[in-house]
Amino acid sequence: MHQASVLVRQILVLNEAMEFIMRREMDINETDFQAMQHLMKQPSMSPGELAHLLHLTPAATTTVIDRLVLKGHVERAPHPTDRRRWLISPSEKSVRDAMEKLMPMILEVDEKVRNYDHADQAVIVDFLGAVVGSIKNRIAALENSSPGPGGSTATSNGER
């Protein structure tokens, strides 16, 4: 294996360790952590949108949201145009706490890449973009070939 491939694998393993520490610090389980990751990327969504992203039933997603609300990580707010719906958002404190833990690492990596000249930065971005693309492609291939509940196989659009 090329050293770059070995380092990518190390990044994936270290990411798992970082997520474990973050879950422990936040006092949440893996599913709740995944919900928080989605909410940090798109800070306001309906419970149905979150259920879709988590691949959970609406009832299971409600349980996740209830746990996160109880621990102060998310807030429910009425939808601005549809009073029958709710929007879920991460709490400011939870976002602030997560960023306090992550920003030193993010800034360190950002500083390191900025120390390279523009041509080298372009190579780094190209390589990392290819890694991201490869991971996305592998996820899609595995999702489309994995047996779903009851042994069915997902179709190309993710339906079972």
Per residue in 88-141, pLDDT (tens digit) is 999 999 999 999 999 999 999 999 999 999 999 999 999 999 999 999 999 999
Per-residue pLDDT at 157: 42
Q: What is the number of H-type helices and E-type strands within the chain?
A: 6, 2
Looking up tokens 């409600």, which residue turns up?
A: 62
Rounded to two decimals, what is the model's pTM? 0.80
Distance CA 156, CA 160 (A): 9
Kindly report the backbone phi and psi dihedral angles of residue 110, in degrees, each rounded to the nearest multiple of 5, phi listed first: -60, -45
The answer to whether 48 and 58 have CB atoms below 8 angstroms apart is yes
The C-alpha R_g of the chain, in whole angstroms, comes to: 19
The CA-based diameter of the chain, rounded to the nearest angstrom, is 56
**DSSP code, position 45:** B
Q: What is the mean pLDDT of the chain?
A: 91
pLDDT, mean of residues 68-77: 96
The answer to whether 50 and 39 have CB atoms below 8 angstroms apart is yes
Domains and CATH numbers, the chain: 3-115 (1.10.10.10)
At 8, is the secondary structure helix, strand, or coil? Answer: helix
The answer to whether 37 and 73 have CB atoms below 8 angstroms apart is no
Per-residue pLDDT at 84: 86
How many angstroms separate the Cα of 4 from the Cα of each of 12, 68, 93, 127, 129? 13, 38, 37, 10, 14
